[in-house]
Structure 1
């Protein structure tokens, strides 16, 4: 799988010790990247990532994503520096505007400027640049500097975005763009063209920016049970992503019907409304062979990293075991 990475995304809902156990298993199977999500009201990613850093030796690791509305740039720089030090230079930084922040009273004005300027401040601090920064959202007074040593001044930057402007920003400043909540290969060329707009504007090679697709994953030898669980999971975020993918045409009224059932707490009933074709656009699910085939289609379309997201299987441990022992070998064989 030269040039292609396979990652595992973990939710911040586990007790101490569980992250280390899953991370050791994932690294032993050959996963390349471990991500911890930064979703609202879950544990802050740093807790899990520091545990993972101590339990692993090889995998890249980072949050996907932190947001600069709830965490100031100097705090982001500090968390990234701590993770990079603990992992001996294996950290990456994921930034995004965040979702559902209205629930905690945080408005999100000027999202592109906020992300770009937060990035500028973070990396100035990591580089020890004391010249200051004056933006429309964030400022850094001349002479302001971190008061501790950092492992690297330039850990890789991943931006999370779906839209054209966010993708173009990634083309200008990021190492990777992650499109979360999709397993749709038809979207890949559209994302690449959106990245190209930003890359061309600053003279970057569009192929230097890695495209990352990640989504809910449920794998099991009982493929029907896995797909039923995945339907329930997808139902909870279908309304968020359904309108973001220009290649997907949904049955009339589906999003509204699913949303009504989710709001009523009837998640399984909501999931049962989701057709197979829709499910396969927004999740990896089924037997190891089915999940590997979905991932391979993304790789063939040009995705540089496929990220298998929570819940992984009918249980986390079984899902990680099957992804590592059954899905990864099929992908390696496909690239062999």
Structure 2
């Protein structure tokens, strides 16, 4: 039986009650972690996460990810403390530099220092450290502290990153690193190597930091329909993630052609340009057997957690049901049986 965790990543675009229903069923089906994305202009993750915390009792919960450019570290600390209290100690903290922030006039200078110092401020507040902190990006005046008790001083930290410097930072300070938008085993192995440099520098044992890969997921008994839907979903972010993966060589001008159609609102037409082999690098899609094979390839490449992202299926509920009843059992099967 694999030791890898299997999780679901949800977009925060649902109605009240939907999150509780999906989370409750996901826990019943045996998923380990439920994440809510922190994408620009969607509902703030804390709303669905608190609803999910009240509906579950076992799964780990967290935002993947919160952004220290658009949310101050003391606010991030307060939100993870609230989630940890509501879930009785099941929260994790996800931090990333984010993307598309130019749409709201936010620059992202000095990303490594910003992420590292944001994490430092968050955990000083959670620990009740009142000595103060003077960073190059963030500071805490001496005596600054929460005026309430927190559930835990150390919810695990997940950093969202693709590049070598971000991976090395995760190796120094995080429990996990998430590569969002990838289902590529070669990228998983590369990230593992990049993380190792940070682990070594921090005196941590090799493999101490878990590698998480997550991507758009569409599973259905009708594999062709699932893959068509996944192509449309992937087209919307291919231009962002494709250039981040140095293991991938895409056909000339593919990204530009796809991006132009997306910009024009022609999403399905853009998706039809995405070849099947490219789709498999950036999404989990097809029949349950196809999706399970993709996830198993990541686990074999050393991934500690696979995160199946929105939309899950042709509908949320059918996707979660199929992932839990037809994909998850095959990943948990003892190979010797």
Give the TM-score band, short-chain normalised: over 0.9
Instruction: Report the equivalent of 2:191.
Output: 191
TM-score where L is the length of structure 1: 0.99
Instruction: Report the equivalent of 2:327.
Output: 327
CA positional deviation for 1:3: 2.8
Residues of 2 paired with 1:264 and 1:73: CA distance?
37
Which ranges of 4 or more aligned residues in structure 1 deviate by more than 4 Å? none
Alignment of 1:1-336 (within 5 A): 1-333=1-333
**Contact conserved, 1:232 with 1:268, CA < 8 A, in 2?**
yes
Q: Considering only aligned residues, what root-mean-square deviation do their CA atoms show, in Å?
A: 0.8
Structure 2 unaligned blocks of 5 or more = none
CA positional deviation for 1:332: 1.0
**Contact conserved, 2:2 with 2:331, CA < 8 A, in 1?**
no
**Contact conserved, 2:36 with 2:49, CA < 8 A, in 1?**
yes
SS of aligned partner of 2:227: helix
Residues of 2 paired with 1:157 and 1:243: CA distance?
26
**Contact conserved, 2:2 with 2:332, CA < 8 A, in 1?**
no
Residues of 2 paired with 1:106 and 1:96: CA distance?
14
1:225-272 Cα offsets, whole Å, 9 max, x none, are 000000000000000011111111111110111111111111111111
CA positional deviation for 1:41: 0.2
The total of aligned residue pairs comes to 336
CA positional deviation for 1:2: 4.6
Structure 1 unaligned blocks of 5 or more = none
1:302-332 Cα offsets, whole Å, 9 max, x none, are 0000000000000000000000011001111
CA positional deviation for 1:299: 0.3
Residues of 2 paired with 1:201 and 1:330: CA distance?
38
SS of aligned partner of 1:71: coil
TM-score where L is the length of structure 2: 0.99
1:120-152 Cα offsets, whole Å, 9 max, x none, are 000000000111100000000111110000000
1:132-186 Cα offsets, whole Å, 9 max, x none, are 1000000001111100000000000000000000000000000000000000001
Task: Return closer, same or farther for 1:140/1:19 CA change in 2, 3 Å cut-off.
Answer: same
SS of aligned partner of 1:322: helix
**Contact conserved, 1:192 with 1:206, CA < 8 A, in 2?**
no
**Contact conserved, 1:296 with 1:334, CA < 8 A, in 2?**
no
